[in-house]
Structure 1
Amino acid sequence: MTDMAMPDARPTQMHAWDAQQHEDALAHLERLQEMLDALRSTLPLLVAPLLHQDASRSHMFVAIKKAAATATNDLRTFRDEWISGRTQHMLSHTKESLLKDGDVTKANDVARYGWLKEDQ
């Protein structure tokens, strides 16, 4: 994998977000978390074909190749989403907000899950 520079996420002029923008950002983070959680099964899925002792070598090769292609696509999708302008803007806004008001205790009252809508 090549080392690609991350987009510049320096703080810019911050404007106040409304409730909908906050909810959209939380839904986006939840979607990223789901993608990251799904990536945790990558290694077990790659190794699984090797555990079937009754499978032929050609069947194992096809299964490993398919698992590797799926993992590569999933990782690429996550990476593209992570370096997207939307995510970087959200992280920049978060950084600015933290610099403006470092009291993060209010975050304890925010639900961790449940921000994604059915159509997202």
Structure 2
Amino acid sequence: MRDFAKAAETADHGPSTLRRYADDQALAVLINALRLNDEQNAIAQGEPKLNPTIVSATPEKVVIEDCTDTSSVLLYNRKTGKPINDEPGGLRRIDATISRKEIGWKATKIRIWQVGSC
């Protein structure tokens, strides 16, 4: 998620470090979120605070639940530098599945819930 937050600073949805850590549905969700921000000239500033917990684990996959604090993250207009809104994020649930791949572990499923979901 730290690489996603870094990419959100520029709304870069092209080739990135995300591909090293995410695949399948998770990569599609993250790239789509960045693409939407790019289309709206929105960039994020601020650092989310992660608090992951392992829900279950097998030799092939790990399921993680997080209550991420996005209260210090705001969206800004890339062209003007002005805030898009003055409403910071908040606590939001993030569910992720990390799967063993041929070349290591990658996030393969992710669901990012709305603010207030945890």
TM-score band (shorter)? under 0.3
Normalised to the residue count of structure 1, the TM-score between the two structures is 0.23
**Structure with greater helix percent:** 1
The structure showing larger relative contact order (alpha-carbon pairs under 8 Å, at least 6 residues apart) is 1
Name which one, 1 or 2, has greater alpha-carbon Rg: 1
**Structure with greater strand percent:** 2
Normalised to the residue count of structure 2, the TM-score between the two structures is 0.23
